[in-house]
Structures are given as C-alpha cells and as structure tokens.
Structure 1
C-alpha cells in the first residue's frame, strides 16, 4: 500500500455512484455492548439477514474481532454450505471473514471511501472521531475504528490516499458518479468535525478527495439523527440528477420542516452538468419508531458513551438502503409500520424497476443508531492497485 500526497482529483479519480457495479461489500460483525443489547444477538440476526440478501448478487468481506470471530466464521460456513452449488455456478456469492478489531460495526463510516479511474480503484482514508469527537461524539474511544480504513486498504492492496486529519464519515457523502456530491450542512459544519475550516475550505477538500465538481449542501437531515444528520438517511442518488428524499406530509411531524427545507433547496439546484434535480418523495414510517423499555434491556454503556431513553424517537428512514449489484436492500420496521414498509418498497420499485426490492427487518439495527446503509460499504468494480 502507498500513501499518496496528491489527491484523487489531481490524479483523475472520482467517487462513483453507489448504483454502479460493485466488486463487493464490506461489513463488520456487531459486538459493542453499548450499541447492541444482549450480546448483540438480535443485531447479529439482522446483520446476517442483510448479508444473505447482498450475497445474492455480490460478495461480502466481513470483519470480526477475536471475541466474535468464531460466530462470524460459523455464519460464513453455513452460507457456503447452504448455497454451495449456486456459489460454484456464480449465482450466489461467498462471505469472506477476516479478523480485525474495531470499536463498533458501522462500516459505512469507518471503511475506506473508494474512488476510480477507468478500471482502476483506489481507497481514501478519512479521520474518524465517532461523529463529533469530544464535542458531541457518541463514544469516548474510537482509535480502532479510525485505524480500520487504512488497515483494510493495506490488507486488500489498495493504493490509499490519506486525507487525515480531515474528519469525514462515509454516511455523510453521496455521489452521483458524474461530478455531483451531496452533503448536509448540519453534519459537515458541526463543531465536532472540522471547526478550523470554513464551508468553502471543506468544499474544496470534498472536491479534491472525491473528484467532485459540485457539492450540494442540503440544509438538514432526519430529525434526531445522532450523526448530526448524515445525508445517507435523508437523501440518496438513484440516478444521474435523480434522488429520493425522506418525506412526510404531516405538518405536525418534526421531520416536516426539515424535509420541506431540503426539498425547496433541491428544487432550485442543478447538478454538475447543469441538469435540474428530479426529486422522488419517499415517506418515512407513518408511526414513529421509538425506544421501548424492552429495547433498553441488556445494554452495557461505557463512561462517555451516548445512552438511550424510553420514548426516544429513532431516526427511521427508508432512504438508508443499500444498492447491491442486483437489488435494493431496504430497511423495514414491521408492526404498525407494515403498510409503510410496503409503500416504500413499491415506490423504490417504481424508481428502480430493473432491481429487486428486498426489505429486511432492520429495527434491531436502528436501535444501535443507524441502518442498512450505515453497516455496509460498497467496493466499486475494478482492479486494486497493488503496492
């Protein structure tokens, strides 16, 4: 692995869109007691369900710490046996487990961001500080998470650009692969990220390391999103100059003014190629997803770690989906939101008719603080540049 002191943009590299072909997907086995209750048993089931759907069309590279390595390997072995013939014929894909110690399991924010040029793919490492560091970060120690991107790039032989000490998470950026990147002001201008930099300086960093020509600064994200309102929970590119936006028609819902402000902003914007942005409204669950007393059973919070309270509203959104090579892996919340789940799946099918829409019950991921997009990181199709 090499650390290049130039930038992707200077070398002709850019961040591709998530709906472009993938080599595979990075995930991390959950185990943090302050994120995943009862030894992460419920979370494990949800993560495994997501992996099972992803491997229908692409491989999964699964990191696991020493304490949970055997469980991760057992799952991978079970999948290999279950789909042995399909994997041999290329109709299903394996889960490859490797040992890596992390503080938590949010692969989107900790794994490398990948950039490409032609058939060549390189990695980008950002500084990670648990979504705000000592200002408003969600846990006190993030050293292992911060090291993960560089470690993965070295393991897989990717030429790596090191953007540190610039703080950024993968969930806070969305690219159309054609020069336009979306972020939220609420996140990127938060005091816990890069307070020494102006908005203009932050934009120049994004352009340099993502190969972007234009940055769309959405004002807000999802109500009470503890990441300071990552863009991946509120708005996502589904095509060039085409996005889905988390929405509600209820003016009494606290999400309403946030989404309305974002919609009004997008209606006035064009992308890097001068095209008007097509906005598809993707309604949030009709019934707010809130923390129950049962949800709080079995957590073990460390000193300095963000905690949960009964009645706390969680940042539930259907926008937090993952594009696999053959599908959209969509979070579903079940129960009183069964109709909302169905509506979201139908909307996404109308927008992405060439892909299968695969809802996965994801409430047990949401209670950890994120959702399906947050626990996944795509690797673009292409050749890794070796050392």
Structure 2
C-alpha cells in the first residue's frame, strides 16, 4: 500500500495540461555520438532553432555537459530567455529524463513540484537502447536541485515523460504498447500501473490507447500518436492509406477514443492529424555518421523513422511543429493548416526536424515543460 501523504495525489497536486501557460521548459543539448551523426552538427543547429523559437515566449533552460558547453554557449549567444545549466547526461531527451511537474493551486498562488521516475533507456535489459543510462536516470534530481524544486520520488517505477499526456483536469493518456511492455514494470499489473499514474500525476482516470506510431523505438510513446489540445479534445496521428502499417495502429486508437470518456465524463472530440504521406526513412549517408557504443541500438539504412506531426510543442504563444521537407512538403503544409485551424489563438511555427528525427525523436521529445510557480 502506497502512503498517499507523500504522493502528489495525497498532497493535492496534479499534472497540468501542456496547452496551459507555463514558465518555460528544459532542453538537453545534443551530444551522444550514437544518436547524433557527424559530431551532432545538424542536430545542434536544429536544437538551436527550436530553442530560439520557444524562447520567444518563455524561458528555456538548456542542460549541457562540460565537453559540449562551449559549442552550446556559442550557438545560443545573445538569445534572450535562455539559461545554460551544467548537468551531465547520457543523451538528450529532456521529455523522458526530466522531472514531470505537478501543481497545486491555492489562495497563495500556484505551487510546483517535480516527480522523479526511474529511467532505463526505454526498456533496460529487455530492449533498452543503450547500456549505461546512469546520468540520464539522475537528471531529474540534478535539475530539480539546481532549479529549487521539491521532488517526489516514484522510483523504482519506470516511466518516461513522453509516455504520458494529461488534460490538466484529471485525465491521463498512455499506450498499452509502451507502459505494459516487458522492459518497463513487468512485476506490476495494468491495474497497479494505473494506480501509480493516478497517485503521481494526481489523475482520476487513465485512457489506455492500444498502440502508438509504427516502428517507434520507445515502444510507442503516446506523445507521438495522440495529444490533448484542450480538455475534451485530442489530435490523433492518422493515415487514410490502408496499406500503410500505421493504419491498423491508428484505427485501433480511433476506435478506442470514440468510445472513451474523460475524467469529467465527456466524450472526446478526435481530430485526425495525418502522418507524412511519404514514409521518412534514414539514408545510408546519415547512418555513416553515427558512432555506436557497445550494446547500443544501431540504425540501418532504409529504416522507417517514427515521423509524426503530433510530436509538437505548445509554447506560450505558438505551436512549434516539425517539418520533414522533401517529398513531404505538402504533408508539412497540411499539418500546419490543421493545427492553425484547431489552435487559432497560437502562431504555427514549423521548423525543420529531420536532424532530430534521425536521432530517434522529435520536437516534443526534446522539451520538458515547467509550469508557472515556485522554482527557478
């Protein structure tokens, strides 16, 4: 039995919606040779572009190790609202290794605390993507200490930030493919995992989407397939092409969502956000630039990447949306138009994201939101 006095739920905290106004975000500078090809040149440029776009309306805290500090400092020099923090990591996925922030509103204002989960490189000994993840596992605590946030410790429960999505009103989404995978918490039942989510996210109801994006090496994180744009409304990655391996995955999610209700008893409005029309695959010249460590998951030329426009970031004034370019220029434009219609209160800022995608993720994956309230 978990003592609820020392969980966010017991203390009256909950995870806010990502569409809510917030203080800023944390991003980890790219550095791992097995994730970022050719010395991370293209990745650093892509990260810097994302950082500058987000910093236009909120503070961005950029964590960086000693070896790459000078480069980050040079590329971000003169950019307002950017703060560099010296923290060592194994890789650069702040969404998955950073604290999950929860809030409590009172007459005295909003309080903010973090939640630390165990991180095991998306599957540990079963199907983790690299062998040594100790610095990544320690990142949430290291950031919270520097930022001055109190931290709940959910360890040894394994969870990544990209595997959950909340509406800010008691509903959390996850995929069965990810959270029930053998490399996460195999000793727990689905019901026990759900109880953990409710306790540490202050949630009342968990929506279990069956699948995620095809060939997503995170075991199909929810943040790549479905996202709340406001309470009661979601965007769902979609394709009309029944021959695409993504089709049965998205169709299964749509069937589930059409019958689901949220924590407030509302039926969900589901907006389809099509994936790129042309599958995005990694090319031989890109693979040649990686330097894989022993035991690290290796990429192969022609491998289909988990490209999805659902993996966007809500900044305070914008939707920061990936663009994949090339044969998908029309798909990029279609995604921007859909989100402009769905989010008329925000600008659509679409940025080249291929260099991030070839590293294994996308714009949402490299950002972890920080709510307004006490802290840095």
Shorter-chain TM range is: over 0.9
Q: Which moved more, 1:106-115 or 1:67-76?
A: 67-76
Residue in 2 that maps onto 1:7: 7
Structure 1 spans left out of the alignment, 5+ residues: 80-92
Q: How does 1:327-342 map to 2 (within 5 A)?
A: 327-342=318-333
Matched, 1:249 2:250: no
Matched, 1:48 2:48: yes
SS at match of 1:383: coil
Gap change, CA 1:48 and 1:120, over 3 Å in 2:
same
* CA distance in 2 between partners of 1:98 and 1:205 (Å): 31
* CA distance in 1 between partners of 2:86 and 2:161 (Å): 22
Matched, 1:229 2:216: no
SS at match of 1:10: helix
Q: Is the 8 A contact 2:48 2:76 kept in 1?
A: no
* CA distance in 1 between partners of 2:231 and 2:270 (Å): 11
List, as ranges, runs of 4+ consecutive aligned residues in structure 1 with deviation greater than 6 Å.
Answer: none
* CA distance in 2 between partners of 1:24 and 1:63 (Å): 13
* CA distance in 1 between partners of 2:77 and 2:352 (Å): 23
Q: Is the 8 A contact 2:65 2:86 kept in 1?
A: yes
Matched, 1:154 2:150: no
Shift of residue 94, structure 1, vs aligned partner? 1.6
Residue in 2 that maps onto 1:38: 38
Shift of residue 5, structure 1, vs aligned partner? 7.0
Matched, 1:65 2:56: no
Shift of residue 78, structure 1, vs aligned partner? 3.3
Structure 2 spans left out of the alignment, 5+ residues: none
Q: Is the 8 A contact 1:76 1:97 kept in 2?
A: no
Q: Is the 8 A contact 1:224 1:313 kept in 2?
A: yes
Shift of residue 74, structure 1, vs aligned partner? 1.5
Which of residues 327, 339, 347 in structure 2 aligns to 1:348?
A: 339
TM-score (norm 1): 0.94
Residue in 2 that maps onto 1:101: 88
Q: How does 1:314-333 map to 2 (within 5 A)?
A: 314-333=305-324
Q: Is the 8 A contact 2:56 2:81 kept in 1?
A: no
* CA distance in 2 between partners of 1:63 and 1:272 (Å): 35
TM-score (norm 2): 0.97
Aligned length: 369
Gap change, CA 1:105 and 1:5, over 3 Å in 2:
farther
Q: Is the 8 A contact 2:227 2:310 kept in 1?
A: yes
Deviations 1:5-51 (A, max 9, x none): 71000000000000111111100110100000011000001101101
Deviations 1:121-162 (A, max 9, x none): 001000000000000000010000000000111111101100
* CA distance in 1 between partners of 2:194 and 2:287 (Å): 39
Deviations 1:181-200 (A, max 9, x none): 00000000000000000000
Residue in 2 that maps onto 1:84: none
Q: Which moved more, 1:66-75 or 1:212-221?
A: 66-75
* CA distance in 2 between partners of 1:244 and 1:294 (Å): 34
Q: How does 1:1-387 map to 2 (within 5 A)?
A: 6-79=6-79, 93-118=80-105, 119-384=110-375
Deviations 1:221-248 (A, max 9, x none): 0000000000000000001010000000
SS at match of 1:238: strand
SS at match of 1:208: helix
Q: Is the 8 A contact 1:76 1:94 kept in 2?
A: no
* CA distance in 1 between partners of 2:266 and 2:313 (Å): 25
Q: Is the 8 A contact 2:15 2:102 kept in 1?
A: yes
